[in-house]
Amino acid sequence: MTNKALRIGPVTIQPPTILAPLAGITDLPFRLMAKDAGCGLVCSEMISANGLVYGSKKTFKMLESTDRERPLSIQIFGADPGIMAEAARMVEGAGADILDINFGCSVKKVVKTDSGVALMRDPQRAEKIMIAVRKAIAIPLTIKIRSGWDPSGKQAFEIASMAEQCGVDALCLHPRTAGQGFGGKAYWPLIAALKQKLSIPLIGNGDITSPELAHDMFEQTGCEGIMIGRAALSDPDIFRRTSLFLENKIAEPLSLDDHFRMMGNYLKNSIDHHGESIACNMMRSRLGFLVKGLPGCSTFRKKLVLTTCEKDIRDCLSAFQLYLDSDHGKEQLARSDS
């Protein structure tokens, strides 16, 4: 198995696992949770270059970081080369270790601004952006792309070749088309085919929901790193188990105590970062993701949506853990694991 370090410019990423940028999810508290779980590189949610350059306080707050999460990649999106370059300088000034450009978001409100995956059908604009950003910063530059607008992957190969010529240090491919969104199945053979044509590191992304599938992507595609997104929403511990699996080690499931400690830390970090009111409102859905599959999770979620403060949420967590530690809870857990 492989667990070799991934190197992007001078940045060493070990294990070679990356938290995908997830809009509205991968803020500082979530990144800290992934890092504590053993993720090699965490990435911010995508940040508007226009928002940074035009002084949006809400957007600039998204750049807040801490040494605990290093190395850190910050992803930006936009369509104007000059604005993208200025935003990249701001990201570098904020202390990011890597700057990533989004060429893959297929959400309509992003595409209609000629950003995200729209850039994959406008190679001239894409090239201008990469050249401008590369000239603006000294830290490593990466891009995240999709297959393009048709299943052939022709646009992915074109953008990837252009990126290499523009001085991009690494590339991540999510092998789904713009029209697929997150539907259908990621076509891993496209990652393998692109790897054969690139000399810069290639990161594979799409449908990695277990350590075994992470291993399979490495083996089937030859990529140097893997990116995990949606699976980490309900299972941040996937990073720890994946790292161990790639080292031929057995990864025991996270204990209930550790699982609830993780959620408690996530709550605390969210309150520290966002303030109690905003954080507790966010936790109504975020903590609901983190109990997926546990017996009684539906009841817990129903109680969680009624919470208004930190005490309420901690009371909900304590009550749920007490239930899972009860004889009935243990019986239900045993059945769900069988």
Q: How many CB atoms lie within 10 A of CB 181?
A: 11
The β-bridge partners of 237 are: none
Which residue out of 39, 43, 105, 172 is catalytically annotated?
105
User: 39 an active-site residue?
Assistant: no
Cα Rg of the chain (Å, integer) = 20
Cα–Cα distance between 195 and 201 in angstroms, integer? 8
Cα–Cα distance between 142 and 91 in angstroms, integer? 13
Structural contact between residues 87 and 130, judged by C-beta atoms closer than 8 angstroms: no
Q: Is the dihedral of CA 191, 194, 195, 198 positive or negative?
A: negative
Among residues 67, 61, 35, which one has the least CA distance to residue 48? 61
Largest CA distance in the chain: 64
148: left (phi over 0), alpha (psi -120 to 50) or beta: left
Q: Show which residues are catalytic.
A: 105
